[in-house]
Chain A
C-alpha cells in the first residue's frame, strides 16, 4: 500500500495538544504550529463519517499520535481481537507518528470497566504484559509506546518498583515508553514515593513521548482528572525529567471541561519553553 500522507514526525522541541471536536473549526482556521495532534484512538473507530474525515484533514498538516485507552494490555482476558483490528485499520488509514496504550487493565471476564486500572508489579504479571505488548506490536507491524498510569491503590503482591517494571517491559519487548509526568507525580503524592526515582529507572532512549495534565486535590488525595491546568509541581518535575531525558514530544492532556483552544495552546507554549531550554543545555541525540 502506498502512503497517503507525507511522513510526519513530532518535533521534540514543541509540544502537541489533544485534538477535540470542540476545536475542529478553530484549529482548521488558525492552523497553529504544533508538534503533533493526539487523539484517543477509540474516538475514531467509526466506520466512516465526520470524525474520520476531520482527522484525515488534520493529518494532512500534522503528525498524529493515536493514544488508546481501551486495549486492556494487562488484562487476564484474551486480547480483544476486534478492538485490535479496529486500531490496525485506523493506523493504516491515518499513518500515525506514534501509537500508544496504557500499562493497565480495564476488562475482565468480558466485562469492560472503562477505566485505567493498575496492575500488580510482579514477575508473573511482567511476563504476561510483555507477551501482550509483543503480540500487539506484531499485529500492528510497528512499535508502540506504553504509558505509566495513575494508581489509587497498590497491591500487596507487587514486588517490583513501578519504574523498573515499566523499564523492563520496554527492554524485553522493544516498545517505547510514554512517560506521564502527572501520573508519576500524583502517585508520589498519594503513596509517598519518589517520582524522580521512577523517572530515573527509565532508559532515556526508550522514552518516546511525555504527557502532562492537570488534576484535582481532594480529601481522598490527588485525582488525575485531565480537567485543569498543569500543577506547578508537575511543571517542575517535567523540567527535571527533560533535563535527564532530553527533549521529548510532549502533550498537554485536557479531556473533561475542555477549555477554549487558546487556553490549551498557552499550556503547550509553557511546555515549549521548557523543551527549548533543555535543548540548549543538552541536544537530544536521536528521537525515539
Chain B
C-alpha cells in the first residue's frame, strides 16, 4: 500500500463516518479518549451540513421562504445525500436542486416549487455569468439587407429563459423580502427572461411568441428561422428590447457561428 493509498483509505473512512453518522467504527483511527473523538466527528458533521444548507439557502431564498426552515433543512440534507457537492466552490452547488425538488415526494403538493427553484438558479447563474462587450451596432447596421434573414445573434452570457406552466414570476416577486408572499396571479404560465444589466439581475415576463423567439435566438437559429417559429408576429419590438437592455453582444451572417 502506497502512502497515498493509506491516506485515501483513511479519508474515505473519515467521510463515511462523518456523513453516515457511524463514528464508532472510525474511533480506532483517532488519538485520545473515544468520547472526545466522537464529539469531534459530530462537530465536523454539523459544520459540513451547515455549510451545504447555507449555500443552498443563499441560492434559493424564495424556495426557503415558501417551504419554511424545517422543510428546507430536511430537503437540503436529502439533496446533499443524493447529490453531494462535486466541487469545492459552494457558490456553484445546487444546479440540480430544482430537479431534485421535482422528484421529492414531500414537495408533491407544491408542483410549482421546482420551477421556482429553476428561476432562482437562473437568477443565480445570471449574476455570475461572464461579462461581454456590447453589440457593435455600427457593424450590424452595415449588414446588407439581403443578408439580414441569415443573421444569427449572440445573446449576452447572463441571459436565461425559464419557461413554466406555473406563475413562477408572480410567486418569486411575492416572496421578495419586502412582500407578504401573496402572488398577484395564482394560476397561468410564466415565461421569464433573466439577464444582468448594470450589475443587477433583472427578470421580465415574456409573451409566448416573445419567449419562443428568444429561445430560438438562444439556440443559434438565423433570424428568419427564429421569426418563423411564431406566425404573423413582428419580432422587431422584442429585438429592440434585447438590444436596449444589453442582451445582444454579437452577430454573424450566413452559416457562421456568432462570436
**Interface of A with B (CB < 8 Å)?**
42-43, 45-51, 53, 69-72, 74-77, 80, 82-83, 86, 105-115, 117, 120, 124-125, 127-128, 151-158, 191, 220-221, 223
Contact = CB atoms under 8 A, between A and B. Distances in A.
Interface of B: 3-8, 10-12, 14-15, 18-19, 28-32, 36-37, 39-44, 47-48, 51-52, 55, 84-93, 127-132, 157-158, 196, 199-200
Contacts of B8: 76-77, 108-109
A48 B129 contact: yes
Contacts of B196: 49
A48 B128 contact: yes
A103 to B, nearest CB: 14
B7 A128 contact: yes
A72 B88 contact: yes
B158 A76 contact: no
B232 to A, nearest CB: 38
A69 B88 CA distance: 8
21 contacts: A45-B89, A47-B157, A48-B128, A48-B132, A48-B158, A49-B128, A70-B87, A70-B89, A108-B15, A109-B12, A109-B15, A113-B18, A114-B90, A115-B44, A115-B47, A115-B51, A153-B37, A191-B32, A220-B42, A221-B36, A221-B43
A75 B44 contact: no
Given A108-B11, A153-B40, A158 B31 contact: yes
B178 to A, nearest CB: 18
Contacts of B43: 152, 220-221, 223
A48 B129 CA distance: 5
Contact of B48 (A71, A113, A191): A113
A277 B246 CA distance: 54
Closest 8 CB pairs of A and B: A70-B88, A124-B3, A76-B8, A48-B131, A46-B128, A152-B40, A153-B40, A47-B130
A49 B129 contact: yes
A105 B88 CA distance: 11
B44 A80 contact: no
B127 A50 contact: yes
A165 to B, nearest CB: 14
Nearest to B13: A108
Contacts of A82: 87
Contact of B91 (A45, A50, A105): A45
A83 B92 CA distance: 12
Contacts of A42: 88-91
